[in-house]
């Protein structure tokens, strides 16, 4: 059954704002509503997100968002466990890309956050490593319709980044304009970036103003209480 909410309430607006969406768009996230909702879920999810991303749009945004701090690996590369352990210990964001329908069983303690010794230690294989609470894991698959085991689904949050029809129409239109009128497409991109920057700046100014007003109100109340 649907979760009861007050009429007119938008749960999406409760977990992210226009400035956040604008920043994501500047990082390469498509501008359609579904992409923004997916990004909000990925950022807010308490369980590790698993991106279903056949067109590779989600992973492009994730790499831009986390930048040089992001550790990227594939389960097929040699010595990948060393990179996993380093990311867990240092508290770095870790992206495991192009996974299939089965994940190496040695990673189960990581996916299930099976911490030992008062929640400070994670055991991977036969090695015990320090678990940094800042660690962030993101899983990614190019499979369009994967079938994961129930325990895998219970340990992760599946997020479908498959391009929607509206998103595809917008992108195809942009490609046509880029070919026919590259000057207009360049101008459009520049204006979109500028508009997003204005949204981010406005939010920062609003937050600063609220902080100043709150501080001023506290000072007035404190002074009146001591008069």
Tell me, yes or no, whether 171 lies in a domain. yes
pTM across the whole model: 0.79
For the segment 25-59, what is each residue's pLDDT rounded down to a tens digit? Answer: 999 999 888 999 999 999 999 999 999 999 999 99
Tokens of 6: 């007050």
CATH number at residue 113: 3.40.50.300
Residue 111's pLDDT is 94
Confidence of residue 70 (pLDDT cuts 50, 70, 90): very high
Tell me, yes or no, whether 51 lies in a domain. yes
Quote the number of domains for the chain. 1
Tell me, yes or no, whether 83 lies in a domain. yes
Q: Which residue has the higher pLDDT, 217 or 155?
A: 155
199's CB contacts (< 8 A; 6+ apart) are 18, 19, 21, 22
Task: Give the domain range for residue 93.
Answer: 18-179
Instruction: For the beta carbon of residue 32, count every other beta carbon within 10 angstroms.
Output: 18
- Please state the rounded mean pLDDT for residues 154-172: 87
Tell me, yes or no, whether 22 lies in a domain. yes
Tell me, yes or no, whether 30 lies in a domain. yes
Tell me, yes or no, whether 142 lies in a domain. yes
For the segment 90-117, what is each residue's pLDDT rounded down to a tens digit? Answer: 999 999 999 999 998 999 999 999 998 8
- Please state the rounded mean pLDDT for residues 145-174: 88
Tell me, yes or no, whether 204 lies in a domain. no
Tell me, yes or no, whether 224 lies in a domain. no
């Amino acid at each position: 059954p649907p979760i009861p909410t007050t009429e007119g309430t938008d749960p999406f607006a409760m977990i992210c704002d226009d400035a956040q969406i604008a920043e994501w768009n500047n990082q390469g996230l498509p501008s359609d509503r579904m992409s923004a909702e997916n990004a909000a879920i990925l950022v807010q999810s308490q369980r590790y997100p698993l991106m279903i991303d056949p067109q590779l749009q989600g992973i492009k945004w994730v790499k831009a968002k986390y930048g040089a701090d992001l550790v990227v690996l594939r389960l097929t590369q040699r010595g990948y466990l060393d990179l996993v352990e380093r990311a867990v210990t240092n508290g770095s964001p870790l992206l495991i890309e192009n996974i299939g329908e089965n994940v190496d069983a040695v990673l189960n303690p990581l996916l299930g956050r099976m911490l030992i010794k008062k929640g400070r230690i994670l055991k991977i294989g036969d090695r015990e490593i320090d678990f940094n609470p800042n660690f962030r894991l993101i899983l990614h698959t190019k499979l369009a319709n994967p079938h994961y085991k129930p325990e895998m689904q219970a340990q992760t949050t599946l997020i479908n980044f498959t391009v929607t029809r509206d998103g595809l129409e917008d992108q195809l239109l942009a490609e046509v304009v880029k070919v026919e009128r590259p000057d207009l497409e360049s101008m459009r991109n520049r204006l979109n970036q500028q508009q997003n920057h204005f949204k981010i700046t406005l939010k920062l100014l609003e937050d600063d103003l609220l902080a100043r007003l709150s501080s001023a109100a506290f000072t007035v109340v404190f002074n009146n209480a001591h008069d």
